[in-house]
Amino acid sequence: MANQEKGNEWSKAHSFFSEMGGFVYCDDKGDLRTIRSLEFLELCEANKIANPVITVKGIRDKNKSDTLGKAILALQLLWFMLQVVVRGSTSLAVALVELDTVCMVVLSLLVIFVWWDSTHNVLTFSIHLRR
């Protein structure tokens, strides 16, 4: 979704921010309520709210999880998986619980990759109204 007036682009970071409760809408009664991505799109298309002025850089500034932490976690998971694979290939004993953990590591790495740009622990929000 793009706002042609200001050139603001809706990105994956905006969607993650919205799903974490980052956008709040002040309805006709004056009550604040959290809105999710699809509802945000519907309100923009109905011209009830404006496309957010918040940038991807502004969203990442609210992030409580940095790239370094995510990279260290991914490296630890890869290191464990490598150890189990090497032990298995050299005919050393590999416990069933370690094989199960390797499966969990593969799924965890997939989740880390897919959610790399997500925000965590959003405590502040943005209110967007159509004036």
State how many domains the chain has: 2
The letter for the amino acid at 55 is: T
Structural domain that includes position 17: 2-63+119-127
Q: Which residue has better confidence, 125 or 28? A: 28
pTM: predicted TM-score of the whole model, two decimal places: 0.56
Could you tell me the pLDDT band of residue 70, with boundaries at 50, 70 and 90? Answer: confident
Give per-residue pLDDT as tens, 86-110: 999 999 999 999 999 999 999 999 9
Region 73-85: mean pLDDT is 94
Q: Are residues 72 and 99 in the same domain?
A: yes
CB of 52 closer than 8 Å to CB of 76: no
Q: Are residues 71 and 103 in the same domain?
A: yes
Region 49-63: mean pLDDT is 72
Q: Are residues 10 and 23 in the same domain?
A: yes
Instruction: Give the containing element (helix H, strand E) for 41.
Output: helix 37-45
DSSP notation for 58-120: HHHHT-SS-HHHHHHHHHHHHHHHHHHHHHHHTT----HHHHHHHHHHHHHHHHHHHTTT---
Region 51-77: mean pLDDT is 77
Q: Are residues 54 and 75 in the same domain?
A: no
Burial status of residue 111 (CB atoms within 10 A of its CB: 0-12, 13-18, 19 or more):
exposed
Q: Are residues 71 and 110 in the same domain?
A: yes
Residues of the chain with pLDDT > 90, as a percent, come to 30
Q: Are residues 44 and 93 in the same domain?
A: no
